[in-house]
Amino acid sequence: MTHTGHARGSAMITVPETLRFDANGLIPAIVQDADDGQVLMFAYMNAEAVAQTLETGLAHYYSRSRGRLWRKGEESGHVQRVREIRYDCDEDTLLLKVEQEVAACHTGHRSCFFRQLPGATSAETETPARRFDPTTVYAGLGVLLEIYATIRDRQARRPEGSYVASLFATGADQILKKMAEESAEVLLAAKGGTRDQLVYEMADLWFHSLVVLADHDIRPEEIARELGRRIGKQKSEYA
């Protein structure tokens, strides 16, 4: 397989042809702190992402949900400066050793791997402190990201007594039924309820909307980008 090269100065950056990309043209990438070895995150790269990373020295990845190339830190400013890229013996996985600005995780934690499964034997029992506040970094999305992170946690761990875990346990139809119920409550509050009732019911609807997004592996930022795309059109869809 031949991969496109990118020029840096007079040199041509080439992606090794021996790398084994999958049927979708992607290769898994594990990202590690170059100084202390902490695993920071996991992502996917395509040939262009690898080439852009080699060319610029900044980590680029491919978003499967958004269907596009993205540079780490393009929104938060928390870039990853790549010291080296290794690949495994099967040539189908990459290891990036990086200098991480502030934190890698959108929740504000240094690493995306800040939670433990029940029964872990590690002496560490507390969740590491955040390195930044998502509410100040992702404008307008902070509280939604906080709630979404909690929803994904309940989705993964299914703790006993969790309302969110019970929704995922009953399946997509029950989740959508709750969305319909909450939508009806919003309509009733908007029609004849008080201002406080409308705020309360709308909060319920937004919460269950986040559950629906989590069920489809869609992040709130993707909705924000779509809204921004519409507003940014020469003739706004909302004008």
For the chain, domain boundaries: 6-100, 134-231
Fold of 134-231: Helix Hairpins (1.10.287)
Low-confidence ranges of the chain (pLDDT < 70): 1-14, 119-127, 131-142, 231-239
Residue 181, C-beta contacts closer than 8 angstroms, at least 6 positions apart: none
Residue 148: per-residue pLDDT: 86
Type and span of the H or E element at 38: none
Residue 177: per-residue pLDDT: 95
CA-derived radius of gyration, the chain: 21
Residue 178: per-residue pLDDT: 95
Residue 208: per-residue pLDDT: 97
Q: In CATH terms, are 6-100 and 134-231 the same topology? A: no
Residue 208, C-beta contacts closer than 8 angstroms, at least 6 positions apart: 175, 178, 179, 182
Please tell me the distance from the alpha carbon of residue 222 to that of residue 184, in angstroms, as a whole number: 25
Please tell me the distance from the alpha carbon of residue 16 to that of residue 235, in angstroms, as a whole number: 44
Residue 9, C-beta contacts closer than 8 angstroms, at least 6 positions apart: none
Residue 77: per-residue pLDDT: 75
Residue 32: per-residue pLDDT: 97
Residue 13: per-residue pLDDT: 61
User: For the domain 6-100, what is the CATH superfamily, name and number?
Assistant: Phosphoribosyl-AMP cyclohydrolase (3.10.20.810)
Please tell me the distance from the alpha carbon of residue 93 to that of residue 200, in angstroms, as a whole number: 47
